[in-house]
Amino acid sequence: MDTPKRRTLQTLAGLGALAVLPRAWAQVRAVELRDTPVSRAYDLTVADTALNITGKPAMGITINGTMPGPLLRFREGDEVVIRVTNKLREITGIHWHGLLVPNDQDGVPGVTYPGIRPGETFTYRFKLRQSGTYWYHSHAALQEAAGYFAPLIVEPAKPDPFQYDRDYVVVISDWIDTPPSQVLANLKKVDGYYNYRRVTTPQFFAQLRSAPDAKARDALWAERMEWAKMRMDPTDYSDGGDEWSFLLQGKRPGENWTGLFKPGERVRLRFINASPMNLYDVRIPGLPMTVVQADGQNVNPVEVDEFRIGNGETYDVIVQPSEAKAYTIFVPTIARIGYARGTLAPEVGMSAPVPELGPKPVRTMADMGMAGMDMGGGGMAGMDMGQAPAGAGHAGMAMPAPAKTATPDAGMSGMTGMPAKPTDPHAGMAMPAPAKPADPHAGMPGMGGTADMPGMGAAAPKVEPGADGLRRLKYAHLRAATRNADDRAPEKELLVRLTGDMARYFWTMNGQKMSQAAPFEMGLGQRVRIKFVNETMMEHPMHLHGVFMELVNGNGIYAPRKHTIIVPPAQTVELDATYEDEGMWAFHCHLFYHAATGMMRLVKVA
């Protein structure tokens, strides 16, 4: 048996339902969701486990011995019991990502409960108030990045308003053999430690030498100086690099995870981005996808060729292959440093061509909201060069004040291991906020900004193709299938500036990491408008525990409900939220190492 097959048997043992298949096939054949029974109770054991994902031995953290962990399948309205035994040498805790649960069941050690000590068993018990596709993962230390995550499905009390014949869960993740603690140390030790895409100093001087004239050289120099001021690099799309493997259901591309179908069948694919490090663009060449759920919530069906999925997000799509041939599920990272891959086919062992990754993307000053900059003379023509408020942005450039009074925040202790007084990387300047909330997918090829949507009762808009002919999903296309329960105007606005320093590798909200900041405060039942302003040059998938956020995208009371929202560089995204459960809740970027270094806050609801 070859090495990939042996690796998969070691890491994904226990697929007993596939015992009737030859062992080589059992490794790659997807298990249909209907073959997993609905239950009210589960026993989970968390333990350090020897894994072999890349051909070399490494240690990870598994749930019941597998990575991803076991699928939990429940039914809406049931009270469920989940007993978790901790065999690690440190405290752990499981967060039920996207589930609305009482505060003491949310699973964040040190925030909602003390956590589960080594050798102890903790029993989670809560009633399910929703249905859809979700997932669960550790919310302690650096455990999630070691493989500690798994899918969770809640079947609806009433049938979903769309039909399908097969149902597969597709967990996207990334893996590196280096322990998470060392990955974090590397990121903090060297600027762009894993970024092999950046232009080196010798390469830059070569560009200067090859420039056609003095004006072009001045422009190159001025742009490089501006990136230096921002403590970022135009190739910083991702914190990771070539060392990472990208997995579909725990399998590398060459292992060819396969979901079976018969021609004409409707296949539901439940995509979950459980990756600690990467956002992805998902497409199935030759097979349109109809998006029917976002973050577990039904939306008006919308047909696309590609969608972007941020860390923590889930999307359910339905495809209907008409031919008896294989189709590639192609999932490249947005930085195009690699891809996850699977296959839909009538038989195990079939495959289809895998598309080229294409060129690695590079940011421009236009992407950062600086399209009017005069790069020729090193100046900033057309931009406000007046005195900026302290902590607002980069030296010498002012940020326009928010249109409405934003909720201020002060200081709080919590995270450790960071400098006592970090310099706000945006001191003196911030990216100008757009006049209207920007579409979080505007940075994708062929995608424009947010457009107003039709009025209540209107169907989802037709998705127009980009220059390359692909129809890409925008947040503006998402429209809730049912009206939202709370149609009140916001009573309060909360400004959340996303800030950070890529060179020193720490990330913050409003210029403060969690250890420095007091909790944000929201009243129980209070309608709050949250305004994200991204002053960095990286996408941040923001996750708010304990509540669904209604994305302000022109759909009014049919705004899509999401638990995780991508906020693109130099853009503003707005959403409304109404808490129904009191307590202290976590609020953070779901790029794992961003949260670990400070882009996390608490929200006090009382």
- Model confidence over 213-248: pLDDT tens digits? 888 877 777 776 766 666 666 677 778 888 999 999
Return the higher-pLDDT residue of 61 and 396: 61
The pair of three-digit structure tokens given for residue 269, joined into one six-digit string: 């694919």
Q: Where are the domains of the chain?
A: 3-160, 388-606
Is residue 380 pLDDT above 80, yes or no? no
Tens digits of residue pLDDT in 240-276? 888 999 999 999 999 999 999 999 999 999 999 999 9
Kindly report the pTM of this predicted structure: 0.81
d(CA 377, CA 478): 43
Q: Is the dihedral of CA 540, 151, 92, 143 positive or negative?
A: negative
Cα(106)–Cα(104) distance, integer angstroms? 6
Q: pLDDT tens digits for 478-506?
A: 999 999 999 999 999 999 999 998 778 89
Given CATH 2.60.40.420, say whether it is the number of domain 388-606: yes
Closest-CA residue to 149 (of 262, 70, 91):
70
pLDDT band at 201 (very low <50, low <70, confident <90, very high): low
Q: Fold identical between 3-160 and 388-606?
A: yes
Kindly report the CA angle at 51 between 46 and 55, in degrees rounded to 5? 165
| pLDDT given for residue 458 in this prediction | 53
In angstroms, the CA 385 to CA 398 distance is 6
Highest mean pLDDT pick, 214-223, 414-423, 547-556: 547-556
> Class of the 3-160 domain?
mainly beta
pLDDT given at position 277:
92
pLDDT 10s digits, 165-199: 999 999 999 999 999 999 999 998 877 777 666 66
Mean pLDDT lowest among 52-56, 175-179, 279-283, 428-432? 428-432
Task: For the beta carbon of residue 89, count every other beta carbon within 10 angstroms.
Answer: 9
Percent of residues, the chain, with pLDDT higher than 90: 66
Question: Looking at the predicted structure, is the pLDDT value of residue 286 above 70?
Answer: yes
- Alpha-carbon span 259 to 170, nearest angstrom: 10
